[in-house]
Structure 1
């Protein structure tokens, strides 16, 4: 583990695997650092930087009193500190909320490119009725954090429905430990529900936007919307892959990343 502190007193701690151009891996809502293990094994030509992120807002002085904007801004500051702590201009590879953070970070941080798998951005018509954060908070307030996390899983990971959620959870590697993240996920969801995609994202480096046909339709729609507002972006859709694409199909996605980075000569930059 390596650690660095920013001027704003944010500690960034991360693992580094391999040698080569750094690729910073930013996980999504309910995923631990280990989420990236299947991906790291396919990044042979790169140095995989896997941070131990402090949580969605827990790095704030008083997370219970912060706005949704504060949560996302603090996450972005964390990523920018991480970028400054590694050699060269790394590639940011984010999944879900990590992908949103990567895109926002790239508007100012000195990076070589961005790979964003289904960024957690809600289409305008969907965002207008989004209430997952409120429903989760109600369950937490009544002493049911497990049920709160289940609502997140049902809406984000299995929006098409699932016959036996408890059986699925029994096989999910991060269950039930992830229940302790319930409050952080509420803050994350509130930030997502309030985030409005601008008409243009001023990112000067190449961006690869990824999505899968088996994930939530609203995230596929958002991936297309994000592609439209980023000048130097490419959109790729994976047939039969869900929202958990990076861990579900790491070889297919890594090959696409190799092709993208090679096409832009990013991997060979120093």
Structure 2
């Protein structure tokens, strides 16, 4: 893990794999850095940069001091600082909340391209009724951290249900880490519920927006809305792939990404 600070004092912590053009991979709301391990082998010619997002494990900021209204801005500043710290104009590759962060960061810093898998944006009709953050916060306050994070898994990762969820979670290698992130996931969800997609996103770089047919309907809808709000974008839908697309189907997703970057 490389740790450094920008000229304004912002702390940065990240892993780098390879020496090519920087490909900054931003994981989603509940996944640790290890989420990108299945993807990395498909980008050997790039310098894959995997940051330690603020609030997720070892970090140079105190996440408890950050309110929900500041969560997204904090992450955007972090990504912009990281983009300025690496050599050359990077490519931003974000999943879910990381995809939203990548798009927002690209409005204020020079990047070569943005790759966004199901950005965590809620359509207006869905957002007005969204209360996941409140339900999770209540469970956390009651000492039910595992149940709180299960609500996120059920609503976002597996909205169509999964047989014997408790057994599935027990066998999921990152589950203990996810439980540890309960408070950060609450803050992140509250930030998502408050975010409003503008009519137009001021991103000059080309953007590949991706979604999967097995993901939540509201994220598939929001992927189309994000695509329409961007001046230079392509929308791709993967048949039979869920919200966990890059980790679930790394070969298919990486093939589409590499094709986009070539053209």
TM-score for both structures, normalised by structure 2: 0.96
2:122 corresponds in structure 1 to 122
2:104 corresponds in structure 1 to 104
Q: How does 1:1-270 map to 2 (within 5 A)?
A: 1-55=1-55, 63=64, 66=67, 68-263=68-263
- What is the alpha-carbon distance in structure 2 between the residues aligned to residue 152 and residue 246 of structure 1? 19
Aligned partner of residue 9 in structure 1, secondary structure: coil
Aligned partner of residue 16 in structure 2, secondary structure: strand
Aligned partner of residue 19 in structure 2, secondary structure: coil
Structure 1: any 5+ residue segments left out of the alignment?
264-270
TM-score for both structures, normalised by structure 1: 0.93
1:268 corresponds in structure 2 to none
Runs of 4+ in 1 over 6 A off after TM superposition: 56-59
Q: CA deviation at 1:243?
A: 0.5
Matched-pair contact (CA < 8 Å) for 2:54–2:61: no
Q: CA deviation at 1:170?
A: 1.5
Matched-pair contact (CA < 8 Å) for 1:123–1:221: yes
Aligned partner of residue 24 in structure 1, secondary structure: strand
- What is the alpha-carbon distance in structure 2 between the residues aligned to residue 201 and residue 59 of structure 1? 30
Matched-pair contact (CA < 8 Å) for 2:32–2:177: no
Matched-pair contact (CA < 8 Å) for 1:56–1:185: no
Matched-pair contact (CA < 8 Å) for 2:241–2:248: yes
- CA RMSD, Structure 1 to Structure 2 (Å): 1.6
**Distance 1:152-1:218 versus aligned 2 partners, 3 A rule:** same
Q: CA deviation at 1:140?
A: 0.7
Aligned partner of residue 258 in structure 1, secondary structure: helix
Aligned partner of residue 45 in structure 1, secondary structure: coil
